[in-house]
Chains A and B, each alone.
Chain A
């Protein structure tokens, strides 16, 4: 059975049908791309998968469990983490605290322990520090742990967002245009990071991307969306040869 199963998913905003009859299957450990021209509904799909939008029809199942109607924070606890197209960090917090916030449901202690700094507070905080630093080191952010997140350069903010998402210990990681605004060097580095993340943390990755080099370089399977409908699916080589896909991207 596939890990993520999306069946004839659809959503309407008033009269606008943003996504229609979308079906996807993602196997555990896969690295799958979701591509399509601007406005095709890719981010809307992510928003439905993470509970930000409630689909008008269709179903989403993660390891057989229904995700429809669940709140975003509940879906996160079930093992779906994401990053955002326009970076959404906790700008006022330090880099380290951003990742520690991601560990919110991984290492827990009560409100009373928070208020009085008693009981497990010290031990749990130390565990959090260690685990967060470990994650930051993976992304080469260890030396900036104490900096305010909003002071980081763009590329590092993207990495920090991925680190924060991984802190929630997800089964499925959704990356929304991770390479947006990056130069070719940074994109190359990012590709390596994504591969590394998949191996090291054993997560399944679904990513939205425009950078064809990145998509064809690392994705095993692609879904192409156009005007909210599935246009094509298959391996990168198959999909990129598909005349319909070429037309959707380049026009007639």
Chain B
């Protein structure tokens, strides 16, 4: 107990307890509601996407909040993860391994493929900064979308076949097409479950919070706060920027696999610029660098538009107004004052402590 209290007193400890607390409580409540059959089929269908979006938001927060670089192409990594994960799952489906194992392996493969894409994109892109970096990541997101749109992948007894632009391979009789160009994938066996999504969220939170609270994480934040100073104390800024970017891409890929294996059909257009922006909205609303904020924002903003279906035509109008209201609150003088007060209190405490120290001496 004592240990827990001490842990909760640190900022890192507080963040971890809040993040895990929210996720675990939400999971237990949902499971109870599911058991009692009190969940609408609409919400039930949203459970896995919510988990995927939470992982997306947390991973994008690593790039935008912790590394401090605006990325507008995060859905691209989700796409890479989704399609490579689906290919992996299709290859594994014949092995007879239990479904959770198939899913886990597919997710790992999706993550690795997205990480590779992260390296390829990160090396040139991270030479830029600010708006320029944002624009180039946007372009890469679109490039990934367009490549997947003309990608043909098939599987038969002799292995995997790839081609671009048009189908240039003949499949044996037992073969099947996995990715069919702009038609995307269809007939995917739905491996993703709410429990697996929950586990992925927990793993993501654990690893990303661990990272933030470590030598590597401090180096990344140092680069964000002051690149020149970080250089001056011996931190290789290029290396840590790339590291954060690639880890972020890897988790986006895993979220993509989870998402892709939740639907029987998926097309590349699902992972377009709008999706990237949607996830960025989660991160900004949840607070840059605030991991549990991302979790809440991703959940609320995924559920909200669906819940608003009842109001029919006004749905997107209300959604937009709510978004604006939240943005306004985040920048409001009220919130600023609360934050300032906290800073002032620290200063006051400091002065008092000093005075008492001087009197003591």
Contact = CB atoms under 8 A, between A and B. Distances in A.
Interface string A93-123: 1100100111011011101011111000100
Given A94-B11, A117-B210, A151-B343, A73 B215 contact: no
A104 B210 contact: no
A152 B236 CA distance: 27
B214 interface: yes
A167 B233 contact: yes
B207 A92 contact: no
B166 interface: no
Interface string A52-84: 100000000000000000011100110001101
Given A88-B229, A89-B229, A101-B222, A114 B346 contact: no
Contact of A104 (B224, B233, B354): B233
B111 interface: no
A92 to B, nearest CB: 5
Interface string B312-351: 0000000000000000000000000000000100110010
B226 A111 contact: no
A109 B225 contact: no
B216 A73 contact: no
A168 interface: yes
Contacts of B210: 114-117
Contacts of B235: 73, 101, 104
Nearest to B226: A88
B214 A117 contact: yes
Contacts of A76: 231-234
A147 B346 contact: yes
Contacts of A168: 233-234
Interface in B220-243: 221-222, 224-226, 228-237, 243
A111 B210 CA distance: 11
B347 A151 contact: yes
B353 interface: yes
A89 B218 CA distance: 13
B234 A73 contact: yes
A152 B347 CA distance: 7
A144 interface: yes
A152 B346 CA distance: 9
A144 B350 contact: yes
B217 interface: yes
B131 to A, nearest CB: 21
Nearest to B247: A115
B347 A153 contact: yes
Nearest to A165: B233
B350 A72 contact: no
Given A93-B222, A104-B219, A111-B216, A72 B231 contact: yes
A82 B232 contact: yes
Contacts of B289: 92
Nearest to A108: B215
B94 interface: no
B122 to A, nearest CB: 15
A161 to B, nearest CB: 8
Contacts of B357: 143
Contact of A115 (B207, B219, B221, B347): B207
Interface in B166-213: 207, 210-211
Most buried by A among B210, B225, B350: B225
A115 B225 contact: no
Nearest to B11: A94
Interface in A144-162: 144, 146-148, 151-153
A117 B212 CA distance: 11
Most buried by A among B224, B230, B237, B343: B230
Contact of A52 (B214, B228, B237): B228
A105 B234 contact: yes
A148 B346 contact: yes
B96 to A, nearest CB: 31
Interface of B: 10-11, 207, 210-211, 214-219, 221-222, 224-226, 228-237, 243, 289, 343, 346-347, 350, 353-354, 357
Given A89-B225, A91-B226, A116-B210, 5 more contacts: A72-B232, A82-B232, A101-B233, A104-B218, A113-B214
> 8 closest pairs, A vs B, by CB?
A76-B234, A114-B214, A88-B229, A72-B231, A90-B225, A114-B216, A105-B234, A88-B226
